[in-house]
A = this chain, B = another copy of it.
Amino acid sequence: MAAKHRSSLRQMDVHPALAPLMFLTGTWVGSGRGDYPTIQAFAYDEEISIVPLGAKPMLRYSQSTWRAGTKEPLHTEFGYFRPAGTDAAELVIAQPTGITEIHTGGIDGRGVVFRSVSVERAPTAREVATVERRIAVDGDRLTYELLMGAVGQPHQLHLEATLHRS
């Protein structure tokens, strides 16, 4: 009980350096569409959670998608947002597909564009060269586009989705 109370208090004690990124926080539910020259286009349902990492100056990011209208899991990933001053941020991500991403991003109001500075792969993972993540929040609506250069294809749109704060 005491530990639980302490944990609630800690969650309210958000680090001030997170202020420029707080517009991203919440549980977001929605749907999206994926396409790429090497695959069939597909529709997906999605849930994203972005919350402060206790009292530390980072946000914890988790995401899962399912084939649209089903409970069939598609992708999931996990990472952390790190503020870098008042108008920039970093994003680090690990994926069960064996990929890690590190991004730097510029914050413009309630939008942020992350471009990969590192995309690394485990030996058995697919080749991904570049990733770009454009995220915008308007009220209780979050939209994003994910562009990717992978498996020999040029950098291009791969995913776009619209989610609402739940």
Name A residues whose Cβ lies closer than 8 Å to a Cβ of B: 3, 6-7, 53-56, 58, 60, 71, 73, 76, 78-80, 82, 84, 90, 92-96, 98-102, 104, 117-118, 120-125
Dominant secondary structure of chain A at its interface with chain B: strand
Min CB distance A85 to B, Å, is 9
Q: In the complex, are the beta carbons of B102 and A98 less than 8 A apart?
A: yes
- For A85, the closest partner residue in chain B by CB is B124
The 5 closest A-B pairs by CB, nearest first: A100-B100, A94-B94, A90-B122, A118-B120, A80-B96
Q: In the complex, are the beta carbons of B80 and A104 less than 8 A apart?
A: no
Q: How far is the CA of A102 from the CA of B55 in the complex (A)?
A: 28
Instruction: Decide yes or no: A94 and B120 within 8 Å by CB, A6-B71, A73-B56 being known contacts.
Output: no
- For A119, the closest partner residue in chain B by CB is B120
Further contacts, 6 of them, CB under 8 A, given A82-B96, A82-B98: A6-B71, A80-B95, A90-B98, A93-B100, A98-B102, A100-B100
26 A-B residue pairings within 8 Å (CB atoms): A3-B71, A6-B71, A55-B73, A56-B96, A58-B96, A78-B79, A78-B94, A79-B94, A80-B94, A80-B96, A80-B98, A82-B96, A82-B122, A82-B124, A90-B98, A92-B96, A92-B99, A93-B94, A93-B100, A94-B94, A98-B102, A100-B100, A100-B101, A100-B118, A102-B121, A104-B122
Q: How far is the CA of A58 from the CA of B82 in the complex (A)?
A: 27
Min CB distance A100 to B, Å, is 4
